[in-house]
Amino acid sequence: MMILYGISTCDTCKKAQKELTAAGHQVTFRDVRATPLSADEIDRLVGTFGDAIINKSSTTYRSFGEFLKASDPEAQLAAQPAVMKRPVIERDGALTMGWDETVRAKYL
């Protein structure tokens, strides 16, 4: 079982889900806008990836006020889950972030 965390409008998430399914993986998609991350999930993501989990080049991040930009990653994810770099994939308790060649090689 594999969980892909992202948002439904993210083209990279759609591509990753399509490729993973084609490779035979059973993928559960979790839209973090529709089903927000719990405090424990946010802590786990930040604990695993640090502030790299925040997509600072996104329009969501750029729309943050100065206070939220200066806040810790946990507060940013809690306030706006779409600011998370995507996709985050969980399999067998391990997490990966993004859909680059390294991540693709791990799963395909």
Can 10 be counted among the known catalytic residues? yes
**DSSP, residue by residue, the chain:** -EEEEE-TT-HHHHHHHHHHHHTT--EEEEETTTSPPPHHHHHHHHHHHGGGGB-TTSHHHHTS-HHHHHS-HHHHHHH-GGGB-S-EEEETTEEEES-SHHHHHHH-
Q: Which of 3, 10, 68, 103 is catalytic?
A: 10
Q: Which residues are catalytic?
A: 10
